[in-house]
Chain A
Amino acid sequence: MTTTLAWIDYLIMLIYLAFVLGIGFALKKFMKTSEDFFLSGRSIPAWVAGLAFISANLGAQEVIGMAASGAKYGIATSHFYWLGAIPAMVFVGIFMMPFYYGSRAHSVPEYLRLRFDEKTRGLNAITFAAMTVLSSGISMLAMAKLIVVLHIFDAPFASLGLSSEWIFHASIVLSAVIVLGYVYLGGLTSAIYNEVLQFFLIVAGFLPLVLLGLKNVGGWDGLRHSLPTGFTHAWVGMSQASTNPLGVEVFGLAMGLGFVLSFGYWCTDFLVVQRAMAADSMTSARRTPLIAAIPKMFFPFLVIMPGLIAIALPAVQEAAAQPGKAATATSWPSKGLIPAEAEKDPKTGEMVPKYLRQAGSDEPLLDANGQKQYAYDYNLAIPNMLLHYFPTGMLGLGLTALLASFMSGMAGNITAFNTVGTYDIYKAYINRSGTDRHYIWIGQLATLFGTIVSIAAAYAAAQFNNIMDALQLVFGFVNAPLFATFLLGMFWKRTTGHGAFFGLLSGTAAAAIFQSLTLPAGAGPGIKGGWLANLHTFPSEMAQNFWLAIFAWTTCFLVTIAVSLFTKAREDKDLVGLVYSLTEKPREDHLSWYKRPLALGIVVLIMTAALNLIFY
């Protein structure tokens, strides 16, 4: 592969890093109280909080993963935005933010304690804290791997006389030190400010990529003509699992993704909710997710489109990063810019292209023309697009945008971790009566601790892939039912603490049981499911995942109601500001219409519906 990085590319990266750390230093003097450190003193304007709201979620999984998914499944990937994010963002802004912001809680787990009880908070705080450090570790690992594959630091390492084996370790440590540095210095404000900066940088780096790519393939029409029809329609063929690339039917998609998973993430995950809680007023807090929804709905054009363009191009060998061999490999199979994955040939020990196999044997799976089908490394869609279209100079900017996306995802997790770690674990269970200064110090310590654990998680993930998969699976079980608890807690005042706690536990158990009894097509019993028995086979892993979420959510919903009816409810006066029916509605008639959350929410939903119609 020919990476042509020159001094200007490194200069661009250095300038970016200087600004990121500079913001941390500039904010240090404003960190006077723990509210400043953990909640930005509740002083962030709505548009800043809104951009940080989507940027915190714009980590590695988003940019690399969505382009990969675009290359694999086509424009249907945009369901993760238009169906799987926007409606939930509108809901959290209009209906849920009054309770998060109005209750003056510092975190989502703290809201659970105010509304329910200590044990529900503890359960949520501990699983959430573990999950954030794990995701930031995975982000770190993905970034280090990418830096190695793209040979970004090869030239500076060679000129310093260092072995290239150290690049991986240096990348992990470097990313950790930078994120640690600016969060440690400037707390949440620093993370939020950098997220906004990173947001603009990501747009600046990827927008020209999409424009050049589209021009190259002849615009949207040219793209449509060079791809199979299913790839440029989001809804055609969705009525049945067998007729669309996702392998999901419309009910599973709408309920599983559009309702349970999406509302569970955008409405209850403290990582994003924290950004809105830092806003300067109730109206700003409610507008935060709504403002975020507007760029969010156009993100498919920025992150999915490069994946589509990458497979629409004729196979280009020399510019493509190939995971296994050097660029001299003459006949490495590829789909547009996306090369096949590499695997070790057991006989010769050489790296060869990985091909798909028939279930339960080593025989290759052949397509209609009798050709071998390969497993493509879709995660290289964005990196290879950058290398293909950007000359020296712009390449530096594109790679900086990529680094920015990794860092904003990592910092989002670290700030959510230090807040929950300090307020919901340390203050709740270890030391209740510290001074305000003491808690800032603990917050900084938690930042350091979270970063070290993330590094450990990154190395663990590099060593034992299965352990990480298993952990993520378990967290999936914990998260799936969560929205049922919040929905009941906020809108039904009869819900009790015991109901919430046992509802969550049984929802998680239901998810685990569901997983142990079903399998996606083409997989054997194991991490993919079916370890007790196989009662049902889903057409795809995504379908299994969506139905698991539906099942867990319903279980939690029903058990919470049942247990609540048999346990003693709290008195109305204790629930003021925590439950819909007992909370005064925020007054907004003095605002101009476009500043009112409800009006903004309706505009956002109409725009999203229009996008769905255009790309049906």
Chain B
Amino acid sequence: MNLDIRTPIGLLFLSLGGLLVIYGFFSDPGIYFRSLNININLWWGLALLVFGGIMTYFGRRKTKLRPSSTP
């Protein structure tokens, strides 16, 4: 297969993480009474961004090095 699954997974998590981080910055702090007053959108969004970045990096690196082979 020519599509490395890590790339779409990485892109999905980058977009979801980015969205949550931005929302976490601008949202009303009052909504975080549910999550024990932790800004879970911001922190978990950051975690998703890191994971998405790692997946995208490995997905793209492999595509560049060996266009159509499998490990």
Contacts and interface: CB of A to CB of B under 8 A. Distances in A.
A215 B27 CA distance: 23
Interface stretch (A57-65, A73-81, A389-397, A512-520): A389-397
B3 A27 contact: yes
B41 A197 contact: no
Nearest to B40: A394
Given A43-B70, A200-B13, A216-B36, A391 B41 contact: yes
A7 to B, nearest CB: 10
Nearest to B11: A19
Interface string A183-207: 0000001000100110011001000
A19 B35 contact: no
A390 B35 contact: yes
Interface core residue of A15, A26, A200 (most chain B CB under 10 Å): A200
A40 B35 contact: no
Contacts of A201: 12
Given A390-B35, A394-B20, A397-B20, A196 B1 contact: no
B27 to A, nearest CB: 7
Interface magnitude class on chain B: 20 to 34
A318 B12 CA distance: 34
Contacts of A603: none
Interface string A1-27: 000100010011001100100110011
B70 A394 contact: no
A385 to B, nearest CB: 11
B16 A392 contact: no
B66 interface: no
B19 A8 contact: yes
A4 B16 CA distance: 19
B24 to A, nearest CB: 7
Contacts of B19: 8, 11-12, 15
Contacts of B57: none
A12 B12 CA distance: 10
Contact of A394 (B2, B15, B41): B41
A15 B16 contact: yes
B8 A23 contact: yes
Given A392-B27, A394-B44, A212 B70 contact: no
Nearest to B22: A8
Contacts of A43: 1, 70
A67 B41 CA distance: 24
Contacts of B27: 391-393
Nearest to A15: B15
Nearest to A208: B44
Given A27-B3, A208-B44, A388-B34, A393 B16 contact: no
B65 interface: no
A391 B36 contact: no
B32 A391 contact: yes
Given A189-B1, A200-B13, A397-B20, A212 B36 contact: yes
Interface residues of A, number: 38
Given A15-B15, A393-B24, A30 B44 contact: no
A41 interface: yes
A43 B16 CA distance: 29
A19 B8 contact: yes
A583 to B, nearest CB: 25
A19 B14 CA distance: 12
A522 B24 CA distance: 51
A35 interface: no
Contacts of B48: 204
Contact of A41 (B1, B38, B40): B1
Interface-central residue, A26, A45, A394, by most chain B CB under 10 Å: A394
Interface string A263-284: 0000000000000000010000
A12 B1 contact: no
A604 interface: no
Contacts of B11: 19
A45 B27 CA distance: 41
Contacts of A4: 31
Contact of A204 (B13, B36, B40, B71): B13
Nearest to B7: A26
A133 interface: no
Contact of B8 (A193, A388, A391, A394): A193
Contacts of A45: 70-71
A16 B3 CA distance: 18
Contacts of A15: 12, 15-16, 19
Contacts of A216: 36
Given A8-B23, A15-B12, A204-B48, A30 B40 contact: no
Contacts of B12: 15-16, 19, 197, 201
B47 to A, nearest CB: 8
B20 to A, nearest CB: 6
A309 B27 CA distance: 27
Given A16-B12, A397-B16, A397-B20, A196 B31 contact: no
A437 B24 CA distance: 51
A22 B11 CA distance: 12
Nearest to B20: A393
A420 B24 CA distance: 47
Contacts of A215: 36
13 contacts: A15-B12, A16-B12, A23-B3, A30-B1, A40-B1, A41-B1, A43-B70, A200-B13, A204-B13, A392-B23, A392-B31, A393-B23, A394-B40
Given A12-B16, A189-B1, A208-B40, 19 more contacts: A8-B19, A11-B19, A15-B15, A15-B16, A19-B12, A27-B1, A40-B1, A43-B1, A197-B5, A204-B44, A204-B51, A215-B36, A390-B34, A390-B40, A391-B34, A392-B31, A393-B24, A394-B35, A397-B20
